Structure 1
Amino acid sequence: MRHYHNLLYVSHGTTDETEGLKQALSLARNNDAPLKVLIVCPDFPAEFPGYQKDYQESILAVAEARVQRTRDALKLEEGAVEVSMALVSDTTPAINIIQHVLQHGHDLVIKEAESQDNRCGLKTIDMNLLRKCPVPVWLCRPIQHSRQHIRVAVAIDPKAQEAAAESLSKRMLALSRSLADSCSGELHILSCWDYEFEAYLRGNMWIKTSDAEIDQTIVRTQAEHRAALDALIQSSGISGLHQIHHLRGKATELIPDFAQNQNIDILVMGTVARTGLPGFMIGNTAENIVQKLNCSLMGLKPQGFVSPVKAY
């Protein structure tokens, strides 16, 4: 299934980004779409204006060589993916990237994740893209095994109250199903639930609620959440092999732990649930989850999301 038509890969142009290029070229191939490589690099010193052209040409030449090496590693046939190049300044990198997206109609941004500690966490530029970029953002981390063994998961909340959340969840299910079909074929659907008042109610000297009543409420809460999850999956129309993981506890802890323990390679999740507040993430939950992930992340926003960044 073709989801994206105009892909943008963001490069710093000075480091080895083979892993990110592999994922970008693979996505472009799978979507039968062109790929633009946007190199975000420092401005050349104004004191040496005569070397500006040579500087830019050298950066582009290095980037083109890296693309060709990655093509060869993926055994892509000549012409299988149309690739173009562009340069922008890194003075305000996230803003410049988002402006490029808006000006050129890109519908997916792909970039290597820049970790705080070489494993988890994300630097400011990646967080700003997740918050403010109007299109999905794919942050790449290394995937060591072949495509047919790549494990894909999606994290959804069937009880989200925002009207746009249900539509976003269905889009995430459809996209993750398509990604899984192009990889291992199995999709892992993850959803977390909890009854936050349990600790408060048990043994409370002011509220005389029996343990049996609390237990029944917890069982009912779990059943209601699972029924909503099953209904959402069914209404999304996805089929194929999938596993549902209905976990009790805090999503901020369970989702990163699940991704690591289950060797998930790609996690699809929503990074913004509200359309009326530009650049608004799902409270601290999404922030904390993405800062703890050690796998590739595909972050989606709801239809109608408006970036606080203007095209010009």
Structure 2
Amino acid sequence: MSLYNNVLVVLDPTSDHQKALDRALELARRQGCKLTAFLSVYEFSYEMTTMLSGDERESMKQAVIKDRELWINDFLQAPREQGLQLDIKVVWHNRPFEAVVKAVLEEHYDLVIKGTHDHDVLKSMIFTPTDWHILRKCPCPVLLVKEHDWPEQGNIIAAVNAGSEQEHHLSLNQRVIHKAQQMAKLLNAKVHLVNAYPGTPVNIAIEIPEFNPQEYNSTMQRHHKDAVLGLAKAHDINAEQCHVLEGMPEDVIPKLAKRLDAEMVIIGTIGRTGLSAAIIGNTAEHVIDRLDCDVLALKPANFVCPLEKS
């Protein structure tokens, strides 16, 4: 039984180095799956052709799509000769993230693989990159690929929120750990659990004289550590592979990933949208830019895609 059977690979139209495709091919060689090389295209000059007939405009659009299909075929020739199953899907759409999510909803892909790079923090606050939109709205898991290899005997980090009693966090913890163990088996890697817990709030320590910050910190650490060890025991993970660290997830997780030379971090994302997403963002998004390895982002089991509702 394959971990993934129907995978959508989002290509980068600006590059001849397709790291998402390379990673997808590696996955296919390890476990066998159908890959679809995907590209969303749009020529803004098309908006200026309203004086042409409908047939002429359609011919122009199809010519652009055909050109991109030929370009993709060059990347797929060698792996096809090796017997891998590869399809091509080029669509005409002016919003790439919507094209990806629409394809997932229509074709029931069970994984999206996309290359990513660092995003300018200030720009991300104003213009949300395609990656972020896909993370927030794609109903299936999303693997964002960086340059780190998948070595044998590597390390996979499962990021959990063990201190929370909220149902969506409890459910996501289980999904993240289960997926980490599946990927570890596939990649012959070791699973590590990481949980970040907040330090002592400075304002409380100042405003309440009788407040004991050391005792608070010790209690908080113990609560999170007990919760993580409980998760580890339930999933047969050694205590030595549990990391309960003080700080924000976006600081703690990348530091641990660097120390372990992790090949992948698996994280749950709630899929926040709207104003709260613009102002606060998601933990997954803050973490991803600081990592040098792949990130597999999972949604809660009851996630409803915003595009599906509209």
Q: Determine the C-alpha separation between the residues in 2 that align with 1:64 and 1:307.
A: 31
Structure with higher helix content: 2
**What SS is found at the alignment partner of 1:309?**
helix
**What SS is found at the alignment partner of 1:101?**
helix
Deviation, 1:147, is 3.1
Structure 2 unmatched runs, 5+: 50-55
Match of 1:270 among 261, 268, 271: 268
Q: Determine the C-alpha separation between the residues in 1 that align with 2:241 and 2:62.
A: 54
Q: Determine the C-alpha separation between the residues in 1 that align with 2:62 and 2:44.
A: 9
**What SS is found at the alignment partner of 2:232?**
helix
Q: Kindly tell me: are residues 125 and 224 of structure 1, through their superposed partners in 2, closer, same or farther at Cα, counting changes over 3 Å? A: same
Structure 1 unmatched runs, 5+: none
Match of 2:209 among 203, 207, 210: 207
Match of residue 60 from structure 1: 69
What amino acid is aligned across from residue 219 of structure 1 in structure 2?
S
Match of residue 223 from structure 2: 224
Match of 2:163 among 159, 163, 184: 159
Q: In the alignment, is residue 182 of structure 1 matched against residue 177 of structure 2?
A: no
**What SS is found at the alignment partner of 1:26?**
helix
Give deviations 1:115-172, integer Å, cap 9, x for gaps: 336xxx89610000111111111111112x4631543212111122321222221111
Number of residues of Structure 1 aligned to a counterpart in Structure 2:
294
**What SS is found at the alignment partner of 1:188?**
strand
Give deviations 1:212-244, integer Å, cap 9, x for gaps: xx4333222211211111112223x35589722
**Aligned partners of 1:113 and 1:140 also within 8 Å:** yes
**Aligned partners of 1:44 and 1:55 also within 8 Å:** no
Deviation, 1:63, is 0.9
**Aligned partners of 1:158 and 1:229 also within 8 Å:** yes
Q: In the alignment, is residue 4 of structure 1 matched against residue 7 of structure 2?
A: no
What amino acid is aligned across from residue 230 of structure 2 in structure 1?
A
Q: Kindly tell me: are residues 284 and 36 of structure 1, through their superposed partners in 2, closer, same or farther at Cα, counting changes over 3 Å? A: closer
Deviation, 1:178, is 2.1
Deviation, 1:189, is 1.7
What amino acid is aligned across from residue 209 of structure 2 in structure 1?
I
**What SS is found at the alignment partner of 1:99?**
helix
The residue correspondences of 1:233-248 to structure 2 (distance < 5 A) are 233-235=232-234, 237-239=235-237, 243-248=241-246
Q: Determine the C-alpha separation between the residues in 2 that align with 1:307 and 1:175.
A: 21
**Aligned partners of 1:269 and 1:299 also within 8 Å:** yes
Q: Determine the C-alpha separation between the residues in 2 that align with 1:115 and 1:187.
A: 26
Deviation, 1:77, is 7.4
Q: In the alignment, is residue 147 of structure 1 matched against residue 151 of structure 2?
A: yes
Task: Name the Cα RMSD after superposition.
Answer: 3.2
Match of residue 258 from structure 2: 260
Deviation, 1:107, is 1.4
Deviation, 1:284, is 4.7
Q: Determine the C-alpha separation between the residues in 1 that align with 2:245 and 2:290.
A: 18
Match of residue 100 from structure 1: 103
Deviation, 1:190, is 1.2
Match of residue 308 from structure 2: 310
